[in-house]
């Protein structure tokens, strides 16, 4: 039941025992993410006042221009997780290789790895539009106490133990799932505490919002072009409404609350799509499914895809069940 006086910290403790592998480690891990989120939120909020907007002049491993806030958020999340000694490995969209933690410490008994998109929608920072952070948590495959390997990170999304996002929007929210429903917490900025604001979030089974970067229309596969025309047709409850922010977190969050579909297809410029399977598609797909929706690359359920590379990309279609089913009819 929803109790808006309950803090995220209290919620985590209360629900810890209902988690089947509970040892407190996952709870501490989510607590660390909560802490880093508050620090990043503080910086995002004063973006126009401090020297944090704009480019660093560097590119990340995917040849994308890094924003100062990309780098800041990356450092904050990684240093928080390292300092609290709560995971055995981290992979980030902004880092070429995964990070091994305490490889020399035989007492490192941590069993979780975290994958993270520290700042999602970074092109929106400079113009005061919502951005986010996405995280994904897996149990390691290799033996506890040994060094992590790439196999610990290249797991199918279905293996996720928890996933969530922070949305730095009109209010700041942390939304996450540990595989038994999706809960949302809103930050009260005056006291720096997240409170339980959305309990067992469910995405409507059908909706009337479609979200896609239509500027790429000419490059889309035929079935996507047909689906867009379907959305625009004047028939039954259509035309649908088109809404596209350009931050996956924000676009998905809106669609989850209101009902809708998000599409990022392959294009001639990005033949495998643009979104990253490990840092973006998998965590959002897990949350979407936990909320009653579905996510696919057009052929397979996102959560069943076995990753082959850390930074691989994937076409991504996700949202209300009926809308994704309708899209699939055009394939
Ligand atoms: P990031 O800022 O982490 O690189 O992610 C941006 C992603 C995603 O958030 C968004 O849905 C998409 O890129 C927008 O891409 P276009 O600008 O091509 O529409
Ligand atoms: Mn992103
Ligand atoms: Mn990013």
Question: Are 130 and 274 within one domain?
Answer: no
**Within a domain: 162:** yes
Q: How many structural domains does the chain have? A: 2
Question: Are 91 and 170 within one domain?
Answer: yes
27, two tokens: 């709870």
274 lines ligand 1 (CB under 6 A): yes
Residue 110 and residue 156: Cα distance in Å, rounded?
20
**Within a domain: 129:** yes
218, two tokens: 């000419």
**Within a domain: 217:** yes
pLDDT of residue 82 exceeding 60: yes
**Within a domain: 245:** yes
Of 198, 225, 255, which closes a domain?
198
> For ligand 2, a single-atom ion, which residues have Cβ within 5 Å?
117, 120
- Tell me, what's the pLDDT at 210? 98
Residue 286 and residue 309: Cα distance in Å, rounded?
19
Question: Are 156 and 42 within one domain?
Answer: yes
Q: How far is the CA of 118 from the centre of ligand 2 (A)?
A: 8
**Within a domain: 203:** no
Question: Are 180 and 234 within one domain?
Answer: no
> What CATH number is associated with residue 301?
3.40.190.80
Place of tokens 């025309």: 229
261, two tokens: 């579909």
Of 172, 198, 224, which closes a domain?
198
Question: Are 194 and 221 within one domain?
Answer: no
Peptide bond connecting 16 to the previous residue in cis, omega within 30 degrees of 0: no
Question: Are 32 and 104 within one domain?
Answer: yes
Question: Are 188 and 213 within one domain?
Answer: no
Average pLDDT over residues 202-208: 98
DSSP string, 273-295: BSSBIIIIIHHHHHHHHHTT-EE
**Within a domain: 1:** no
- Helix/strand/coil percent split, the chain, to 5: 35, 25, 40
Residue ranges with strand state E in the chain: 55-59, 65-67, 89-92, 99-100, 112-120, 131-139, 162-168, 172-177, 182-188, 193-198, 209-211, 241-242, 261-264, 294-296, 316-319
| CA dist 182 → 134, 166, 300 (Å) | 14, 13, 23
Question: Are 255 and 170 within one domain?
Answer: no
Q: Which residue has the higher pLDDT, 105 or 284?
A: 284
Average pLDDT over residues 124-147: 93
Question: Are 63 and 156 within one domain?
Answer: yes
Average pLDDT over residues 25-42: 94
**Within a domain: 295:** yes
Question: Are 35 and 148 within one domain?
Answer: yes
The total of other beta-carbon atoms located within 10 Å of residue 196's CB is: 20
Pick from 134, 248, 254, 268 the residue to mutate for probing ligand 1's pocket: most ligand atoms within 8 Å of its CB: 248
Q: How far is the CA of 29 from the centre of ligand 1 (A)?
A: 26
Per-residue pLDDT tens digits for 274-319: 999 999 999 999 999 999 999 999 999 999 999 999 999 999 999 9
The answer to whether 248 touches 257, Cβ cutoff 8 Å, is no
Q: Which atom of ligand 1 is nearest to the CA of 247?
A: 9
Q: Domain range holding 245?
A: 209-328
Question: Are 220 and 189 within one domain?
Answer: no
Average pLDDT over residues 108-137: 93
248 lines ligand 1 (CB under 6 A): yes
pLDDT of residue 51 exceeding 80: no
> What CATH number is associated with residue 58?
3.30.540.10
Q: Which residue has the higher pLDDT, 156 or 146?
A: 156
Residue 167 pairs with which residues in a beta bridge? 132, 173
Q: Which atom of ligand 1 is nearest to the CA of 262?
A: 11
Pick from 120, 126, 268 the residue to mutate for probing ligand 1's pocket: most ligand atoms within 8 Å of its CB: 120
- Tell me, what's the pLDDT at 49? 76
Among the residue ranges 13-22, 59-68, 143-152, the one predicted with the least confidence is 13-22
Whole-model pTM: value is: 0.96
Per-residue pLDDT tens digits for 213-236: 999 999 999 999 999 999 999 999
Q: Whose CA is nearest to atom 2 of ligand 1?
A: 121
- Tell me, what's the pLDDT at 22? 64
- Tell me, what's the pLDDT at 60? 77
pLDDT of residue 103 exceeding 60: no
**Within a domain: 2:** no
Of 198, 221, 239, which closes a domain?
198
Q: How far is the CA of 219 from the centre of ligand 3 (A)?
A: 24
Question: Are 48 and 109 within one domain?
Answer: yes
């Amino acid at each position: 039941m929803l109790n808006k006086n309950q803090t995220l910290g209290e919620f985590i403790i209360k629900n810890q025992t209902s988690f089947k592998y509970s040892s407190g480690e996952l709870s501490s891990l989510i607590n660390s993410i909560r802490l880093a989120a508050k620090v990043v939120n503080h910086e995002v909020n004063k973006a126009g006042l401090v020297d944090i907007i704009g480019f660093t002049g560097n590119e990340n491993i995917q040849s994308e221009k890094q924003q100062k806030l990309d780098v800041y958020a990356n450092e904050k999340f990684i240093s928080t997780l390292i300092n609290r000694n709560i995971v055995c490995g981290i992979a980030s969209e902004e880092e070429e290789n995964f990070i091994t933690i305490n490889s020399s410490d035989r007492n490192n008994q941590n069993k979780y790895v975290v994958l993270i998109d520290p700042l999602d929608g970074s092109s929106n920072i400079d113009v005061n539009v919502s951005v986010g952070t996405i995280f994904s948590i897996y149990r390691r495959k290799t033996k506890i106490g040994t060094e992590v390997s790439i196999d610990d990170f290249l797991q199918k999304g279905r293996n996720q133990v928890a996933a969530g996002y922070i949305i730095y929007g009109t209010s700041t929210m942390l939304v996450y799932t540990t595989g038994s429903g999706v809960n949302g917490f809103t930050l009260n900025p005056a006291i720096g505490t997240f409170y339980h604001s959305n309990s067992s979030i469910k995405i409507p089974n059908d909706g009337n919002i479609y979200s896609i970067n239509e500027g790429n229309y000419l490059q889309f596969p035929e079935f996507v072009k047909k689906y867009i025309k379907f959305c625009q047709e004047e028939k039954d409850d259509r035309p649908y409404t088109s809404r596209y922010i350009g931050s996956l977190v924000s676009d998905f969050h809106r669609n989850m609350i209101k009902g809708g579909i998000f599409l990022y297809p392959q294009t001639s410029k990005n033949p495998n799509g643009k979104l990253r399977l490990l840092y973006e598609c998998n965590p959002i797909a897990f949350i979407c499914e936990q909320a009653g929706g579905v996510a696919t690359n057009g052929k397979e359920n996102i959560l069943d895809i076995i990753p082959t590379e850390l930074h691989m990309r994937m076409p991504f279609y996700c949202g209300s069940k009926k809308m994704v089913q309708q899209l699939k009819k055009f394939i």
